[in-house]
Amino acid sequence: MPDIRRQLLAAFDLEHREHLQAIRQAIAAGGEADTREIFRRAHSLKGAARAVDLPAVEEHAHALESLCAELMDGQRTLDADTTAALEGLLDAVEDAAGAAYAPPAPKPAATTAAVADETVEYVRIDVEAVAGLSRAMQTLSGDVLDHGAIDEDLRRLASDARKLERRWRDTRGGAAVRAREVEQGLKDLSRALNELSVRRVRAGWALDQGLSDLRGRVEEISQAPAETVFGGFATMVRDIAREAGVAVDVRVTGLDTRADRRVLQALKDPVMHLLRNAVSHGREAPQARAAAGKPERLTVAMTVSAASGRLRIDIADDGPGPDLARLETAAVEKGLMPSRPEGAPAPTPEELLAHAFAPGVSTAQGVDKLAGRGMGLSVVAEAVRKLRGELRLTAGRPWGARVALSTPLSAARQSLLFVDIQGRQAALPSLSVRRLLRLDATRLETVEGHPAARIAIDGDDVIVPMVPLSALLSGVAAEVPVHAGAVSAVLLSHGRRHVALAVDALCDVRSALVEDLDADDLDADLIAGAVQLDDQAPALALDPDALVRRWLRDQRQLAAGGLGFAEEAEDADETTRTILVVDDSITTRTLEKSILEAQGYRVLLAVDGLDALNLLRSGQAMIDLVVADIEMPRMDGFSLLQAVKADAALAGTPVILMTSRADAADVRRGLDLGAEAYITKQKFDQRELLAAIGQLL
């Protein structure tokens, strides 16, 4: 079965269960049931079944939709007979969907391989079993590394044998018989060792390929879409805002991003708190928003994405933004920084904003249900640190605040750069390293008595501090290590601030398991854990973000002068066309996204018309075309189309309506409202959709 088919069935499995549960809960409400919501759920269920080509499920869902339509139109009441009929249809849908996942009986003439190709089984996998499989993979990884060491030993023995052969040839005397026998024996030994080395290399390559395949399969099992954990957060934010009396628009994108289930679960509470914090600190009086030229409602946006092995979650609001003066006062009160003498330079924004994650620091005016005690962000920071992640708060432009959270996609292994520091190895996440440097020592410059280097970053020359990593870890001043006239360093970035950490040597890059480390004599703020090494002391796993913050704290004067600070590069021109897909069905969204991305389009997703309108008006993405369903909660496709065409800034954006409603009046209404095309799902052909998009773009 193609991968897209597997993805669609997996998405439908989640979606149809959600619809069935919601309908059953609505029915249980009796006379207070929202009949329109029941109808919408049944309609979406039918469309999702059609999208994955499950006719039996679609047939029962259609009957369910028809019965719900009679309820909504008042032709029926939710009495005992109707309730029983609804329950029967729900059970029929559930049975038909369950049968869709059951593999058919194998045909007598079919081979095992053929049957395997025709069927897919979905099973529940215990999280501990997955963790055990992951640990087994890590052990196998260690075995592969051991084989690499054996390779080196074999090469050394082969070299030694060749040297011994040459020595014997040079020193042999009168060509005695025994001498010839020894010489031949040395030749045989050398040949055997060479052959063994070649065989070992081939076997090692095969083992490495098998390990790579195993790792991929384990990661696939271990991962889940972010929607499984964060799917209800938009509703939660609206509920929180409503209770606090805050008018809010919520936009959540990227929930189809996949990551390790354990990572997503570990981030559930931290992300929930960050969203709550965005409402708390983003709220302001309507008069203040109007005076600043902001929309009437507070906007809270959450974006989930993945790239280069890391999960990134960005949470932004368009409120007043961080109060740096109040933050400095709070940090001084907590003893996190000294009082600033009159005339002294102000702390850098990075330093102040980093203190927002310290325990007890709060800029709230008072304590209420949303905020005020200053403990929430410190809990977020600790959870992210345990995941070996990074957390950064920045001020928005021209207003608002943004929190960028980044962690490895997997909770187990990481790709690490190993460096040597005064004879001991340490490790840095390779994905956090901006660049590896090897500079001529004579090229180092001096800024206010401190070493620095001129480095090209994003097309600009930036004077970057050159900091001995040993000094940063120990707190004791040290010289920049120089070997053979050169300096080896690792370039780290924290936002637009850059710091080069000088080390004795750059050793290796490989995947390894980072374990918790509990040692009182170490600086826990800088160390994320430890990596076990064969026959050596464990290597310290360092926190790159914390290292840069430590330099900012220790060298406040230099940082305030702009050392290591680079202007933000302008984004490159985008040539890829962007299409916004709007549909409340995750199955339909997945199908349309896969079709469009296969044609080279960039695809953004929205769960209903209001979500789409917020995204369109935000200006954070240039959207070239909209493909929208009609039947959706909060704002349907017709209302979205009307709002787009009534907005002067959006009116030129083409809109294609896609729906199962093929009624001529509906088609005419959509076209009258300004839709560029109207495609019905009953006769949906992806070629028709792509052709329509091609003509419009």
pLDDT, one tens digit per residue, over 291-316 is: 888 888 899 999 999 876 789 999 99
pLDDT score for 468: 94
Q: Taking residues 37-43, report their average pLDDT.
A: 81
CATH of domain 3-118: 1.20.120.160
What's the CA gap between 7 and 125, in Å, rounded? 17
Residue with tokens 């940090």: 331
Q: What pLDDT was estimated at residue 670? A: 80
What sign does the CA torsion over 626, 629, 630, 636 have? negative
For the chain, how long is the longest CA-to-CA vector? 117
Kindly indicate the confidence band of residue 467, based on its pLDDT and cuts at 50, 70 and 90.
very high
Measured in degrees and rounded to the nearest 5, phi and psi for residue 418 equal: -95, 130
The predicted structure's pLDDT at residue 487:
92
Q: Are strands 413-421 and 505-513 parallel, antiparallel or unpaired?
A: antiparallel
128 touches 185 (CB < 8 A): no
Closest CA to 251 of 299, 295, 298, 297: 299
**pLDDT band (50, 70, 90) for residue 589:** confident
Alpha carbon 545 to its chain centroid, in Å, reads 18
Q: Are 39 and 68 in contact (CB under 8 A)?
A: yes
* 80-95 residue pLDDT tens: 888 888 888 888 888 8
Confidence of residue 4 (pLDDT cuts 50, 70, 90): low
562-578 residue pLDDT tens: 788 776 544 434 467 88
pLDDT of 684 higher than 80:
no
358: left (phi over 0), alpha (psi -120 to 50) or beta: beta
**Overall average pLDDT of the 172-176 stretch:** 55
DSSP letter at 651? T
Tell me the average pLDDT of the chain.
Answer: 78
CA atoms within 13 A on the CB side of 74: 0
pLDDT at residue number 381 = 84
- Topology of domain 226-408, CATH: Heat Shock Protein 90 (3.30.565)
Q: What is the mean pLDDT of residues 51-70?
A: 84
Q: Tokens for 519?
A: 């040692």
653 or 528, which is more confident: 653
In terms of Cβ atoms closer than 10 Å to its own Cβ (0-12, 13-18, 19+), residue 485 is: exposed
Does position 217 have pLDDT exceeding 70, yes or no? no
Sheet with 655-659: strands ordered across: 602-606, 578-582, 625-628, 655-659, 677-680
For residue range 523-540, what is the model confidence (pLDDT) as tens digits?
777 887 788 776 667 888
Maximum average pLDDT range among 59-63, 75-79, 464-468, 552-556: 464-468
Check if the beta carbon of residue 280 is closer than 8 Å to that of residue 298: no
The tens digit of pLDDT for each residue in 365-415 reads 544 445 544 455 777 888 887 787 888 888 887 788 999 998 888 766 677
Residue 117 three-state SS:
helix
SS3 letters for 561-620? Answer: CCCCECCCCCCCCCCCCEEEEECCCHHHHHHHHHHHHHCCCEEEEECCHHHHHHHHHHCC
Written as one letter, the residue type at 360 is G
Give the pLDDT confidence score for residue 126 in this predicted structure: 54
As a whole-number percent, the residues of the chain with pLDDT over 90 amount to 10
Right CATH number for 135-223 from 1.10.287, 2.30.230, 3.40.50, 1.10.8? Answer: 1.10.287
First to last CA, the chain: 33
Containing H/E element for 690? helix 686-696
Backbone angles phi, psi at 260, to 5 degrees: -55, 130
* Burial (CB count within 10 angstroms: exposed 0-12, middle 13-18, buried 19+), residue 697: exposed
At 152, list the tokens: 């080196």
Q: Choose between 170 and 647: higher pLDDT.
A: 647
- CA Rg value for the chain: 31
- Environment class of residue 537 by beta-carbon count within 10 Å: exposed (0-12), middle (13-18) or buried (19+)? exposed
pLDDT at 115: 35
The pLDDT score that the predictor gives to residue 235 is 82
Per-residue pLDDT tens digits for 613-623:
877 876 656 78
Nearest to 376 by CA among 311, 303, 280, 299: 280
Q: Which two tokens stand for residue 693?
A: 């998009």
Asked whether residue 51 carries a pLDDT value surpassing 90, the answer given is no
- Bond into 398 cis (ω within 30): yes
Q: DSSP 3-state assignment of 365?
A: coil
Query: What per-residue confidence (pLDDT) applies to 369?
Result: 47
Closest listed residue to residue 499, CA positions, set 509, 512, 489, 507? 489
Phi, psi dihedrals of residue 512, rounded to the nearest 5°: -155, 160
Dist CA 582 CA 590 (whole Å): 11
Residues 35 and 67: beta-carbon distance below 8 Å: no
DSSP SS3 for 46: helix
- The residues of the chain that CATH labels 2.40.50.180 are 413-560
Task: Give me the CATH code for the 578-696 domain, please.
Answer: 3.40.50.2300
Question: What pLDDT shows up at residue 1?
Answer: 44
Helices (H), 73-126: 80-101, 112-118
Crossing angle (nearest 10°) for helices 586-598 and 35-51: 40
Per-residue pLDDT at 317 exceeds 90: yes
Q: Which of 639, 627, 618, 637 is nearest to 686 (CA)?
A: 627
Domain(s) of CATH 1.10.287: residues in the chain: 135-223
Q: What is the CATH number of domain 413-560?
A: 2.40.50.180
Among positive and negative, which fits the CA dihedral 265, 270, 274, 275?
A: positive
Could you give the C-alpha distances from 302 to 202, 223, 250, 316, 495, in angstroms and in order?
Answer: 48, 20, 8, 7, 19
Please report the sign of the dihedral spanned by the C-alpha atoms of residue 652, residue 657, residue 662, residue 663: negative
Give the separation between CA 13 and CA 20, rounded to whole angstroms.
11
Q: Is the pLDDT of residue 120 over 80?
A: no
Are the C-beta atoms of 610 and 601 separated by less than 8 Å?
A: no
Cα distance between residue 151 and residue 159, in whole Å: 12
* Buried b or exposed e, range 86-101, using 16+ CB within 10 angstroms: beebbebbeebbeebb
**Is the pTM above the cut of 0.75?**
no
- Identify the residue with better confidence: 402 or 694: 402
**DSSP code per residue over 473-503:** HHSS--PPP-BTTEEEEEEEEETTEEEEEEE
- Looking at residue 302, what is its pLDDT? 94
Per-residue pLDDT band at 159 (split at 50, 70, 90): confident
Q: Which tokens in the block code for residue 663?
A: 């009624």
- Phi, psi at residue 142, to the nearest 5°? -65, -35
pLDDT, position 141: 64
Is a pLDDT exceeding 70 seen at residue 7?
A: no
- Token digits of residue 189: 């030994």
Question: For residues 660 and 680, is the Cβ–Cβ distance under 8 A?
Answer: yes
Of 114-123, 202-211, 247-256, which one has max mean pLDDT?
247-256
